[in-house]
Amino acid sequence: MNSPSKTYAISEIVGTSDTGISDAIENALATASKTLRNLDWFEMVSVRGAIVDGKVGQYQVTVKVGFRYDE
């Protein structure tokens, strides 16, 4: 028995956090899940941040999210 094929679209988004990379990813996924259905996976593409007074002021993480088309 073959499982049905799945077709995905990919969207690139940026999540931010004042506390860390994991929180930035979580924030991005939480926001994306409000408007995109069938989110199945993500890939972290890049990490950068803002510097404030010589310290990390904000983490910025670019992620690609894959969402499955309805059958």
Distance CA 63, CA 71 (A): 25
Residue 3's pLDDT is what?
A: 65
Write out the DSSP string of 44-67.
Answer: EEEEEEEEETTEEEEEEEEEEEEE
Q: What angle do CA 39, 1, 38 make, to 5 degrees?
A: 10
pLDDT exceeds 60 at position 1? no
Distance of CA 58 to the CA centre of its chain: 16
Whole-structure pTM value: 0.85
Residue 64's pLDDT is what?
A: 98
Enumerate the domain spans of the chain.
8-68
Average pLDDT over residues 22-51: 96
CATH architecture label of 8-68: 2-Layer Sandwich (3.30)
Residue 18's pLDDT is what?
A: 97
Q: Which of the 8 DSSP states describes residue 21?
A: H
Residue 71's pLDDT is what?
A: 77
- Select the more confidently predicted residue: 48 or 1: 48
